[in-house]
Amino acid sequence: MLKKGWRPRRSIIFASWDAEEYGLVGSTEWVEDHAEWLSKEGVVYINVDTAVSGPHFSAAASPNLNQLIYDITSQVSDPKTDKTIYDVWRNGPFLGQDDMAMATAAKPKIGVLGSGSDFVGFLDYLGISSVNLAFGGDYGIYHSNYDR
Catalytic site includes residue 20: yes
Is the whole model's pTM more than 0.85, yes or no? no
In this structure, the strands spanning 45-47 and 130-136 are: parallel
Q: What string of H, E and C letters represents the secondary structure of 1-27?
A: CCCCCCCCCCCCCCCCCCCCCCCCHHH
Q: Residue 21 phi/psi, 5° resolution?
A: -65, -20
Rg for the chain, CA atoms, rounded: 17
Catalytic one of 20, 21, 29, 41: 20
- Going from the first residue of the chain to its last (148 residues), give the mean pLDDT of each consecutive group of 10, the final group possibly shorter: 90 88 88 96 92 85 97 93 93 56 72 92 96 82 62
Other CB atoms within a 10 A radius of the CB of residue 112 amount to 10
